[in-house]
Amino acid sequence: MSDRGRGRGSSRGGGRGGGDNRGRGSSRGGGDGRGSSRGGGDGRGGGRGRGDNRGGGRGGGRGGGTYDVPIRGPSSGRGRGDFSPASRGGHGGRGGGRGGYGRVDARRIYTPGAIPEYDASVLEKETEIEKTVFNAENARGPAPMLPLRPGFNTQGNEVLLFANYMDLAVKQGAQFFRYSIDIGPGPDKKAPSIKKCKRLVQLLLEEHLAAERRHIATDSRSNIISITRLKDISDDTDGKSFRVRWKAQDEEKYENNPDTFTVTVKFTGMVAVSDLIDYLTSSNASDFFASKSEVLQALNIVVGEYPKSQSDIASIGANKHFSLNPGSDDRFSLGDGLEVIRGYFVSVRAATARLLVNVQVKNIAVYESGSLAGLIGNSRLTGNLHNLEKFLKTLRVVVTHLKKDKKSIRREKTIWGLAHPRDGKDPNRPGFRFGDGPDKVKFYQDGSKEDKINPGYITVSEWFKKKYKINVSEDFPVINVGSRDRPSYVPVEVCEVIAGQPAKMKLSPYQTSQMIRFAVRSPGENADSIVNEGAPLLGFSPTNGVLNTFGLSPTRKLITVPGRTLAAPTVTYKQGKEEKHLRPAKASWNLVDFKFYETRRHAVKWTWVVLDSFSTSKAFAGGHEALIKRINDEWVKNVSAAGISLLNAAEGVTVSLDRNDRNLQHKVDAAFASLAKQGLDFILVILPSRDTLLYNTVKYLCDVKHGLLHACVTANKFAKPSAQYDANVALKVNLKLGGTNHRVGGTQLGIISEGKTMLVGIDVTHPSPGSAKSAPSIAAIVASVGTNLSQFPAQLRVQTEKQEKVDALDVLLKSRLKIWKDIHEEYPDNIIIYRDGVSEGQYEMVVNEELPQLKKACNDLYPKSKQPRISIIVVGKRHHTRFYVTRDEDASQSKNPPNGTVVDRGVTEARAFDFFLQSHAALQGTARPAHYIVVHDEIFRNTPVPHPFKNAAEVLIDLSHRLCYTFGRATKAVSICPPAYYADLVCERARCYLSDLFDPSGDEGSTSDAASEAGERQQRQQRMVTVHDKIKNSMFYI
């Protein structure tokens, strides 16, 4: 840290950081969204649940609004760098950068004028389908393996909402011609890069299909959609091959002997848009449309053609588009060479009786454009060359020093890295060090008579001075824009960073906070932006020639949809020995005068561990004695007030830390090893700061190596006596010790209340940008053990990286079923699974590949005649659907829809068994509802529908809503069902255990574990995530 001199101080911020004069105000920072929303507290003596006082989790907020920030967050927001030798330290605040993004009337709802009623023709068709399809014996679901919707929801109070969808009118009888594109290898026998493929498709259209160009839309990679049949390309399977000559983007003429590529175009079929519309309006029970995904893909290619063809729009992926000339309100500096820009996601969606276009605000962190030298300077990474190389790797730049016919030409290049002594294959080249400047890096050149340069080795500095008459600075490292085998060296002065390139690294805690600060906007603001800025950017206009050619006409008005608002369930605590019932008014409550519903029967044997450093001492003015007094007095009193019985603390341990101490982990390990022999129930761990390395070390040592239940607090927060803070910690302590904080009791949870239904949560976490190449994916499973739904023991399993399908799911489920049987003496009759992390294209994978493993587990354990019923509900939170109230009296305090809002009409397909549910109260930002879709159902359709429900869909919707009030670590409803939420938390804990792989320091992220056999590596990684036997059946992860 000393070489950077950054530390944690706030001296850099000054007056630039926040402040009300910026138009947003500093009060918008935290909140209930994707950053620190798992924490909080309502200031009324209750606890809201704080995690381990370390910020958010995977970047995904569970308990509040959404900021639509496309980032995972800074390693769960845990660390600021006090103890990590490789850490850069925290920020201290650079201020806001460009300024701006002030707003007017940010708290109003979206008011476009007259509020349109729900489309009568759609309502009529939904009603017709409900009568003729839902209960027909021959009715078919939306896909071969997916169940049919049992009915629409009629429970709750009616509410009319705007949705971020626009109608898409299609010319009657519309059909398109679809062609595939296959690009062969170049002269170097290698497959061209994605960027090169895009350029080759442009050249194909310019050189060979120019006459048909205005009738064509393409994804610039593998598909062409045309309104007419392409000439000279037959309908047979061979298609036609074209010889496409290479020409760079800015070149006017072809080279004398340009590289050529073989591009084959094949006709792959007709796209009958009209057939899809016919299916969406059909009330025939047996109708099924197998080509829906193909038609939607073609429509998305057509809709995306306009923004992708504009030079002032950056398109990221298939459907995210950002203006390269954003106004001051649509961009903001994140510091360290990055900025955030606001753009829009667009997707054509199928819905009952119509096609819609989903448009959503997207914010993305990008590199600052302009000079590369300026970017490197702003990055403040010149003191850490390995991190600088990681920051720059794959960045696209334009080099400006080249000339042709005495004219300057701009050539796009991709940064491979910094100059490295292992570059190239020349064993005789004079040596230099990694990251050296242009006066030290040499390469061999053949000489130039024109420039009076003799053959031989020459420094980059000399070459540019003699060849291009450019004097270069010695202050920056040389950049390699070639490859490791064939390096091409340039100084930073001749490189300009291309605008609109997304940052691929993990953001720092400071950058994440700035990102959230920019992205948090009221629902009304986002809706306004979609209509007035997003639609024009995407080309939703009568003058859009592409859409006109294909007969498509999107409106520029948001549709309205009907919703329902469900009531909150009754939550039960203890008051003395009596049960105390309360019904939360706004999806939150507090613990004043209440005790936990159930705590450990015998007094808890516990102690504390203080990891002592300058930060710890600074937090407690009275020194170590004051800290111990704080533990034994206020903390014990407040935790006991919640109902947890604590014995007097056993003798605690203080570990003195030095940030430069290489034996840091050994010293901490020794402390916990000594405590592991004392038979303790629980340990309170006081961390000196929010330090990633230390936090991860504690989690691994306690959970995996020694089997110690514990909770972490940070000295600066713990130093301030607070009943609310201690109640937050107590929430976790009680759950870890096997208790129940509160319950939703009686018959409120329907089939679960009968005691024969197990709830299961499944999730998979994957390596993120910057992870080591050997970082695996990790699957997590949790399952309930009783009707209180307070305990969900977990298990982890390492699997192939970036694989969403869970390997050995049968083994994981059997481990949960055995725990259930140990408690209940029999296996559950029903298994309801909430599956997290599955994309829309993977629904059938769950049914075809994961369900058979679940069945196998049951076949292995249950009698053949008494197999359990299984239902699988996929929970989606990374979708792009948002709802906005149409009347101010329906709005929550943050102007969002009220908690309990459910939508299953208008933006859904009638046949699909799905719904959107916003159980939580979003405190700020735009609320993101959870999306639930049933992909397999043996339970709800086959169980009698109890009063007052009218169909099985209402039963599941109500159950899912009430479950959101059972999350044990908070005194509020959360935004997705706890089984999925808990599985997500377990995945996050696994990332702590393997932090060396998921968040490597230095240049480890670019290395692989090639020396180790894959099987041995996976076994070693599995041992690293296998929780100690002593605590494996607890909620160690909470």
Q: How far apart are CA 911 and CA 926, in angstroms?
A: 28
Q: What is the pLDDT of residues 196-224, one digit of tens each?
A: 999 999 999 999 999 999 999 999 999 99
Q: What is the pLDDT of residues 585-606, one digit of tens each?
A: 899 998 888 999 999 999 999 9
Q: How far apart are CA 495 and CA 410, in angstroms?
A: 10
Q: Are 907 and 189 in contact (CB under 8 A)?
A: no
- Which segments within 922-1015 are labelled E, that is strand? 926-927, 930-937
Q: Is the pLDDT of residue 58 over 60?
A: no
- The residue with greater pLDDT, 1023 or 1013, is 1023
Side-chain-side CA neighbours of residue 124 (13 Å): 4
pLDDT at 346: 98
Structural fold of domain 370-497:
paz domain (2.170.260)
Q: What is the pLDDT of residues 374-419, one digit of tens each?
A: 999 999 998 899 999 999 999 999 999 987 766 778 899 999 999 9
What's the chain's average pLDDT?
Answer: 88
Q: Is the pLDDT of residue 34 over 70?
A: no
Confidence class for position 728, pLDDT limits 50, 70, 90:
very high
pLDDT at 25: 36
Contacts with 1018 (C-beta within 8 Å, 6 or more apart), sequence order: 776, 798, 799
Q: Which of 270, 261, 268 is nearest to 202 (CA)?
A: 261
Q: How far apart are CA 496 and CA 494, in angstroms?
A: 7
Chain position carrying tokens 């009063």: 947
Which amino acid belongs to residue 597?
Y
pTM for the full predicted model: 0.88
pLDDT (mean) for 557-579: 96
Contacts with 1014 (C-beta within 8 Å, 6 or more apart), sequence order: none
Q: How far apart are CA 649 and CA 719, in angstroms?
A: 18
H or E, element range at 853: helix 851-861
pLDDT at 105: 55
pLDDT at 63: 40
Q: What is the pLDDT of residues 800-857, one digit of tens each?
A: 999 999 999 999 999 999 999 999 999 999 999 999 989 999 999 999 999 999 999 9
Contacts with 637 (C-beta within 8 Å, 6 or more apart), sequence order: none
Side-chain-side CA neighbours of residue 16 (13 Å): 17
Confidence class for position 691, pLDDT limits 50, 70, 90:
confident
The Cα-based distances of 281 to 150, 274, 352, 555, 706 in angstroms read: 18, 11, 7, 20, 61
Distance between the two ends of the chain, CA-based, in angstroms?
Answer: 31
Structural fold of domain 750-1024:
Nucleotidyltransferase; domain 5 (3.30.420)
Q: Is the pLDDT of residue 577 over 70?
A: yes
What are residue 963's phi and psi, to 5 degrees?
A: -60, -30
3-state secondary structure at position 886 = coil
pLDDT at 614: 67
Q: Which of 684, 620, 617 is nearest to 657 (CA)?
A: 617
> What is the 3-class SS of 316-338, one letter each residue?
ECCCEEEECCCCHHHEEEEECCE
Q: Are 159 and 885 in contact (CB under 8 A)?
A: yes
pLDDT at 65: 44
* Choice among 48-52, 659-663, 760-764, 864-868 with the minimum mean pLDDT: 48-52
Q: Hey, where are the domains in the chain?
A: 170-369+513-557, 370-497, 571-736, 750-1024
What are residue 552's phi and psi, to 5 degrees?
A: -110, 140
Q: What is the pLDDT of residues 134-177, one digit of tens each?
A: 878 777 778 778 999 999 999 999 999 999 999 999 999 999 99
Domain 571-736 CATH superfamily: Response regulator (3.40.50.2300)
3-state secondary structure at position 903 = strand
pLDDT at 22: 36
pLDDT at 402: 84
Residue 85 burial (CB count, 10 A): 13
DSSP state letter for 659: T
